[in-house]
Amino acid sequence: MTSNSTSPKQPRWAGMVPVEDTALAVTDTGGPGTPVLYLNGQFATQGYWRHTLAELGPGWRHITYDERARGKSKRSADYSFEAAVRDVDAVLAARGVDRALLVGWSYGAVVAAHWAGRNPERTVGAILVDGAFPYDWLDDAMEQRIRKLFRRMGWVLPLLRPTGPTPRMTAEEQANSNIELGRLSRAHELGPCWTASPSRCGTSSRRERRSEAAVLSRSGSAPAWRR
């Protein structure tokens, strides 16, 4: 693995990375720039980042991937949050990257915050978009509403899969993923990652996303993000 945030020039690569009982579809643009790992929204795919990557340009080494049962990645018996965190390690190891800048959106923002908090020495920075706000929004009533919603959607989800954004997960698995996210977003769960890595965690709204990309593109390095 590389010992710092800049990498020797790497060729572009796309393929499948075996992880535990599954395989993840990964794309690495290569190049000598700082590696940037993009973590998707809960049921999104790596394709959602294409405009961001185009705007930031070739000065960065962009690494994207589809999470388990999303996009071109394979199914798994484990869709837990901890599996998502382990997949960050697996993708970085497969691409020979030791330190990276993480960009997480929504669910991916929470994954990025937890991974950065556990691995501050490997984190160049963490840009958290529309997510990772320590907030206790899940209670018993909300959990039941989530389960009811996904039960009602169960018949239509398989029909939507060919369109792309619907994962190859059952309605129950998707409900469980949402509920687990709510539990992990609670202040006592998410807060410690901020204190463990205060200079590497930041949040941004959707409105700020384009301006952040412009700053990155102009500077060629990650700015100091607000807590």
pLDDT grade, residue 6 (50/70/90)?
low
Q: How far is CA 92 from CA 56, 115, 177, in A?
A: 20, 12, 23
The per-residue pLDDT for range 24-36, each reduced to its tens digit, is: 999 999 999 999 9
Q: Could you give the CA distance from residue 208 to residue 111 in angstroms, rounded to a whole number?
A: 20
* pLDDT, mean of residues 11-21: 96
Rounded Cα distance between 213 and 141, Å, is: 38
Higher pLDDT, residue 9 or 38? 38
Q: Is the pLDDT of residue 102 over 70?
A: yes
Between residues 109 and 155, the one the model is more confident about: 109
CA count, 13 A, side-chain hemisphere, 193 = 27
Most confident among 84-93, 121-130, 133-142 (mean pLDDT): 84-93
**Low-confidence winner among 9-13, 85-89, 194-198 (lowest mean pLDDT):** 194-198
- Strands 100-105 and 203-204, by their bridges, are unpaired
Q: How confident is the model at residue 8 (pLDDT cuts 50, 70, 90)?
A: low
Mean pLDDT over the full length of the chain: 84
Q: What's the pLDDT tens digit per position in 41-72?
A: 988 999 999 999 999 999 999 999 999 999 99
Of 225, 224, 209, which is closest to residue 56 (Cα–Cα)? 209
222 close to 33: Cβ distance less than 8 angstroms = no
Please tell me the predicted confidence (pLDDT) of residue 135. 86
